[in-house]
Amino acid sequence: MAAGALGAHRSGAGLAFSYVVHNTGVEYVTSAGRTSSFPGRLDTGDQIFARDTLSQGGTRIGYDNEACTVTFDGNDLCRVVSVFPGRGEVEASWLWVGRNASRNGPSRFNGVVDGGTGAFQNARGQFLGTVLPDGTLRFTAQLD
């Protein structure tokens, strides 16, 4: 079961789990061109692509690929697919309010878990993203 592989637990509302996201690559595509360094404030239509490793208790449990598009008012519309080898994939999306003016954005943000495969088939729920002091992210998900 996926819960065992992710160190998850069942709560009254469903399955809950948490993991840390370590960036392993980023690419910004702006009107000025492509760069892997944060180019400063981004404009509507600019895109950010990222890949990350996912870990729990220092053990790698998977990876993800993320795509964000800068929208309006300093916000990025993001979609990520997290892959947990041998278990399945989870898709999530969020509006990262105020993100595109800084490398890490706000210290906390929320999103929607809107699908999955394998052990996560029909996954639905929400997550909280928290930027840790070293710039990594902690995702805490609650699935129905």
Give per-10-residue mean pLDDT for the chain (144 aa): 45 76 95 90 92 96 96 91 96 86 77 93 93 90 88
Q: Which residues contact 113 (CB under 8 A, 6 or more apart)?
A: 90, 91, 92, 123, 124, 125, 126, 127, 141, 143
The CA angle 10-130-88, to the nearest 5 degrees, is 45
What is the architecture of the domain spanning 2-143? Beta Barrel (2.40)
Domain-wise residue ranges, the chain: 2-143
User: Model-level pTM?
Assistant: 0.85
